[in-house]
Structure 1
Amino acid sequence: MNGDHEWDAALAEAVQLREQGQPEQARERLLVLARTYPQSAEVAYQTAWVHDVLGLEADAVPFYERALSAPGLTEEDRHGVFLGLGSTYRVLGRYTEALRTLRQGLEEFPGDAALQAFLAMTLYNTGSPKDAVSTLLKVLAATSEDRGVREYRRAIEHYADDLDMVEQ
């Protein structure tokens, strides 16, 4: 982290508070850390996350954006930022930004099922239900442990590409 043990401990404590179901207390501490360490992508991400937990999506956006633009996130946290920001944009009706963010996330994390699922929801919201269903069918085929889905995986993937196909 920052090499500052006090900073590390404060961040760890705030994350622990969120994980233990005390998001308000976590938010208070994270806001102080975000003011003190405005260049920290990790603090920005954790601050965004706690805002989302509290249903304060609009307040989460600038922290997600800061986290995405700053260096220093682990791969797992960077993935979380794409997912959180894309989902938050979608919930706020900012569909163009959601599509851009989720697609950028999929460029870095190709085939990620969670990013694809949120992309499908956003495609639906933007009036592209066919693309949404196609995306979800591909995720289902690729990730399902259901025996029937596994048996028909090829067919599901095939028809997902052309949902309107009718054999003559």
Structure 2
Amino acid sequence: MGENERGKRLAEAIALREQGAPDQARERLLALAAALPDDAEVAYQTAWVHDVLGLEAEAAPFYERALSDRTTLTEPDRRGALLGLGSTYRVLGRYAQAVDTLRAGVAEFPDDGALRTFLAMALFNTEEHHEAMTLLLNLLATTSGDPHVQRYRRAIEHYARDLHETV
């Protein structure tokens, strides 16, 4: 399949997903993924449509395939694939894999608040409550536009370092 044909078919499938026809998008993406098994972008889009449909178990292998190629995905797609795979592992109860994947995402994209939020949820599931709260409190302190939160930002950041401190 030529690059033009691939691009056209991929764009059509993405448009179907975005227009609320995920079942049709899934059919097209599965066909593309079968024809182009080494194409990271196709794998990512195929994973995404499975997530949209609530088919997390089917999404995971496509996310894994997309992330196995560190050079092809654009930065936004790589961020999305890391978040998608981490979230998918979490939904499937594969908490340790979720934490590992999301930690890798946060290490690669430390400014991404969504990755940090999903990591905090996975940490909660592995009973790493202190680290989960630390992540969320720091995220809240640095990203909230709420003037009441901002008034107490220094205190929130202080306690994020040690929630056990009382004085």
TM-score normalised by the chain length of structure 2:
0.96
Indicate the residue corresponding to 1:52 in structure 2: 51
Say if 2:109 is the partner of 1:98: no
Indicate the residue corresponding to 2:151 in structure 1: 151
Structure 2 alignment gaps of length 5 or more: none
- Of 126-135 and 116-125, more deviation after overlay is shown by 126-135
Say if 2:14 is the partner of 1:22: no
Give 2:61's aligned amino acid: P
CA distance in structure 2 between the partners assigned to 1:111 and 1:22 by the alignment: 32
Shift of 1:111: 3.1
Say if 2:67 is the partner of 1:61: no
CA distance in structure 2 between the partners assigned to 1:4 and 1:125 by the alignment: 43
CA distance in structure 2 between the partners assigned to 1:94 and 1:33 by the alignment: 28
Indicate the residue corresponding to 1:33 in structure 2: 32
CA distance in structure 2 between the partners assigned to 1:57 and 1:111 by the alignment: 26
Q: Secondary structure at the match of 2:82?
A: helix
CA distance in structure 1 between the partners assigned to 2:153 and 2:30 by the alignment: 47
Indicate the residue corresponding to 1:78 in structure 2: 78
Instruction: Determine what percentage of the aligned residue pairs are the same residue.
Output: 64
1:69-124 alpha-carbon deviations (Å, 9 max, x no partner): 02310000000000000000001010111011001111110131101100110111
Shift of 1:3: 6.6
Structure 1 alignment gaps of length 5 or more: none
1:29-61 alpha-carbon deviations (Å, 9 max, x no partner): 000000001111000000000000000000000
Give 1:118's aligned amino acid: F
Indicate the residue corresponding to 1:124 in structure 2: 124
CA RMSD of aligned residues (A): 1.2
Say if 2:160 is the partner of 1:160: yes
Give 2:6's aligned amino acid: W
Number of residue pairs aligned between Structure 1 and Structure 2: 166
Q: Secondary structure at the match of 2:166?
A: coil
Shift of 1:154: 1.3
Q: Secondary structure at the match of 2:78?
A: helix
TM-score normalised by the chain length of structure 1:
0.96
Moved segments of 4+, more than 4 Å: none
CA distance in structure 2 between the partners assigned to 1:122 and 1:36 by the alignment: 34
